[in-house]
Amino acid sequence: MTEGAQPVDPGDFAAAVDRHYPGLVRRLTLVLHDGEEAKDVAQEAYLRAFQAWDRFDGTDARAWIHTIALRLAFNRLRRRRLWDRWLRGERHDPSWVMPEHIDLWRALADLRPQQRAALLLNVVDGYTQAEVARMLDAPEGTVATWVAEAKRRVRAALGEEPAP
């Protein structure tokens, strides 16, 4: 612990972040395409958040834990892409996706991870683009572009508008 820092109170930490766990796992599952890996990343994010609890500014615990988790997820995706290229493995649709949602799943899977995260955080979770920009450590204009492009690509994939 740094000099002058207050001891971490596990009760305060749990009260601030525990209720966000189910939503975080759902979000990470869509980003990582793997429910078990999403749980692993969520647990790692909670551990890192607990370790850094004395440095948390107290503003928005949900955004803070999502930021930590998404950065960990993006790191895993980069490593996975390297392994996938090296092994030349093929991906298959996950068995837990309901058949009537498989087209949406595939459309989301075809997005770049940052686009997918920005779209889901903004459209599904209700964060403003400014909040998403802070979470993803990107300029707000870049987030706006990611969200617009992701919406266009998902609509096109679902046949709601022609692809360019």
Long-range CB contact pairs, 6-14, < 8 A, 24+ = 6/54, 7/54, 8/50, 8/53, 8/54, 10/50, 12/53, 13/49, 13/50, 13/53
Q: So what's the pLDDT on residue 2?
A: 42
Domains, the chain, ordered by start: 9-91 (1.10.1740), 97-164 (1.10.10.10)
Q: Which pLDDT does position 1 carry in this prediction?
A: 39
Q: Which two tokens stand for residue 48?
A: 């890192």
Residue-by-residue pLDDT tens, the chain, 164 positions: 344 444 556 678 888 888 999 999 999 998 888 889 999 999 999 999 999 888 888 788 898 999 999 999 988 887 776 555 555 545 566 666 677 777 887 888 888 888 998 998 898 888 999 999 998 889 999 999 999 999 999 999 888 765 55
Helix axes 10-17, 35-51, angle to 10 degrees: 140
**pTM of this structure:** 0.54
Express each pLDDT in 74-99 by its tens digit: 888 877 765 555 555 455 666 666 77
